[in-house]
Homo-oligomer: A and B are copies of this chain.
């Protein structure tokens, strides 16, 4: 599946975001992707424009029937290690959820057999849902975290892989870094491993991962902040997911101005920082995040499931913040970013139900922007992924639908649930995909021009 890319012409229908509110549809175009996996040229009209002469012997992949090529999704927040708990959370909220479900599972990753089974599965599954780039939290274990990096590399997914740092006494005895120095050293060990398989971080990038302030000593955060400053390696953490958590941070860090200030003061809040959740931010924190150009990962499904709250995405967009989507497995139940784009719309409806909040509603185009271009910006790759532009990498998925026939019965099961009756505009089809589509509609997935997944029966 992951052989090197060859010069390829993608022919057919293409849809991608050109702004937060605008999807662009090219009904019959050609995109030429070179041997390095980059888009070399785009023709908007395959019938009347001629492909460059030196592309005449290129491989051809046609989008046929109902569907389109779409940029690959970016999952800006997912705990790979928690995947077996997806859907298992009862009526818990963040802090009891961590102790009841999460820490016991994560602590089992001392066993590389367990880690291998879970990591292989979650990476394969996210790819099959069209996720071409994922920001993973692993666990505290160096060998298992290195295995996750290796698995992403081997399956061909673009990934940011973070070894989780948690040295605070708040973490359970059975699952905690022994010291701030250990948090730092084990982080470095995981960076070294990624450099060994992937020297230029072309596919896999390490990411410094203090779990969240309550799990970390100030000493640990300071040393990880220094490592960030020294290496430029990005940072991911959580912020303001749950009100009890916010109170806890206030109590644990009384000398800091705010939760965001804890990260800022320890050197962890910069333009290369991804903050997950960001539900209960104060206006001052929003200003600080704007000033530092830190990024937001919106995790609507998880926020609903764990009763964490509703992130006010319209307000954050109006502030000019950069926002992408995160599945937050296993606070979130599904590894599908398409599903999270749908949840983002639904959560925005709940926000809009409050008096005077009607503008909060996200549109189909906006949700899909967050899933692609938005996520690309959050991970610092807006120049190379998230859309179809000359010079960008071919990180893409082929979306395909069946058509409702005139005969009885459902036709082929593998067509999935999106129902095309024949009168739909292309905007209607995109809306139907967002609201009723699933992995059955993602027929093929490419990362940097390499085919990393295809449905059974699909042939390039």
Contact = CB atoms under 8 A, between A and B. Distances in A.
Contacts of A428: 87-88
Contacts of A87: 418, 428, 431-436
Each complex incorporates copies of this chain amounting to 2
A88 B417 CA distance: 14
A316 interface: no
A459 interface: no
21 contacts: A84-B421, A84-B423, A86-B419, A86-B436, A87-B432, A87-B433, A87-B436, A88-B431, A88-B432, A90-B363, A117-B406, A117-B421, A125-B419, A128-B410, A304-B349, A305-B349, A307-B349, A307-B358, A307-B361, A346-B346, A413-B455
Interface residues of A, number: 57
A438 interface: yes
Contacts of A438: 417, 438
A334 B87 CA distance: 20
A410 B121 CA distance: 7
Given A87-B435, A307-B358, 19 more contacts: A83-B419, A84-B419, A84-B421, A84-B423, A86-B432, A88-B424, A90-B363, A90-B431, A113-B406, A117-B404, A121-B419, A155-B408, A304-B346, A304-B349, A305-B349, A350-B350, A417-B438, A417-B439, A438-B438
A423 B413 CA distance: 30
A113 B419 CA distance: 17
Contacts of A305: 346, 349, 435
A327 to B, nearest CB: 12
A421 B124 CA distance: 15
B413 A456 contact: yes
A440 to B, nearest CB: 8
B86 A435 contact: yes
A391 to B, nearest CB: 33
A23 interface: no
Interface string A438-449: 111000000000
A40 B59 CA distance: 63
Contacts of A282: none
A363 B91 contact: yes
A424 to B, nearest CB: 8
A233 interface: no
A120 interface: yes
B310 A435 contact: no
Interface in A386-419: 404, 406, 408-410, 413-414, 417-419
A400 to B, nearest CB: 14
A334 B342 CA distance: 12
A309 interface: yes
Nearest to A127: B410
Nearest to A93: B358
Nearest to A129: B417
A135 interface: no
Nearest to A335: B417
